[in-house]
Amino acid sequence: MFLTYDNKKDEKDILERTLEAKLNIVSGHGAKNKLVHGDNLSVLKTLFSDYANKVDLIYIDPPFATNGHFRIGEDRANTISSSNGDAIAYSDTLIGAEFLEFLRERLILLRELMSDRGSIYLHIDYKIGHYVKLIMDEVFGIKNFRNDITRIKCNPKNFQRKAYGNTKDLILFYSKAENPIWNDPKAPYSDDDVERLFKKTDRDNRKYTTIPLHAPGETANGNTGKEWRGVTPPKGRHWRSDPVILEEWDKQ
């Protein structure tokens, strides 16, 4: 999947011609972290020497192509208020193709820093996010798109617009290859969760639930399409897990 637009650079040129930054790194004894102040394009290129193919996790929150200035001051009622006298914290004035290429250059360098099991999360909004997804499909491969995560905003900033509420941003989650590191995010079940999700009770008074042993889709090859205990999956489905695992579950 590729987007075509004016002034789109060749990927090889981005990798070879991006200039490195000169970093003056100051850190305490034994420090393992770095906070770098600089143009992140040249800084990323500089990090190649130490971190190419080594970074397991990246989170970025780039500008949203709003064509506006964001200000900061000491006397604000809340985080979305601003005064003409406030200092400009940052300017978000790149839009259209210029913004997309700005982001694409950095994503290409970030990909080269990622390990083979690395992942990247990119925070963006609904106005430009669909274009950004196509850029990420191009850089990382559409097969490595993992999730579109919804981030619900605490203040929708909808005011009087005649439209559905602007209540969310999105986070695009990609990996570099097919087997990324995955630490399953879990939270303890509440009492309400237990009552809602585990409605059956066994003879020892333990609560449980059941799920089908099969799932949609047939497999052309592989064990999940084969017989287990003389039974094949229903037409149009396959065993949810390898029959070896089903056998182990049955023993348990």
Please check the confidence at residue 75 and state whether its pLDDT lies above 80: no
pLDDT above 70 coverage of the chain, percent: 92
* pLDDT digit string, tens, across residues 99-138: 999 999 999 999 999 999 999 999 999 889 999 999 999 9
Residue 80 DSSP class: T
CA distance 134 to 8: 14
The pLDDT of residue 79 is 53
What is the pairing mode between strands 114-124 and 55-60? parallel
Distance CA 134, CA 64 (A): 15
Find out whether 127 and 64 touch, Cβ atoms under 8 Å.
yes
Spell out the domains of the chain, with CATH numbers in brackets.
11-175 (3.40.50.150), 191-251 (no CATH)
User: Predicted confidence band at 76 (pLDDT cuts at 50, 70, 90)?
Assistant: low
Q: Which residues contact 223 (CB under 8 A, 6 or more apart)?
A: 239, 242, 243, 244
What pLDDT, on the 0 to 100 scale, is given for residue 78? 54
Lowest mean pLDDT among 32-36, 38-42, 81-85: 81-85
Q: Give me the pLDDT at residue 18, please.
A: 95
* Structural tokens at position 128: 């430009």
Residue 122 — φ and ψ, nearest 5°?
-120, 120
User: Would you say residue 213 has pLDDT above 80?
Assistant: yes
What's this model's pTM, rounded to 2 decimal places?
0.75
> How much is the mean pLDDT over the chain?
89
The larger pLDDT score, comparing residue 42 to residue 222, is at 42
Positive or negative: CA dihedral 109, 114, 116, 117: negative
| 34 against 196, higher pLDDT | 196
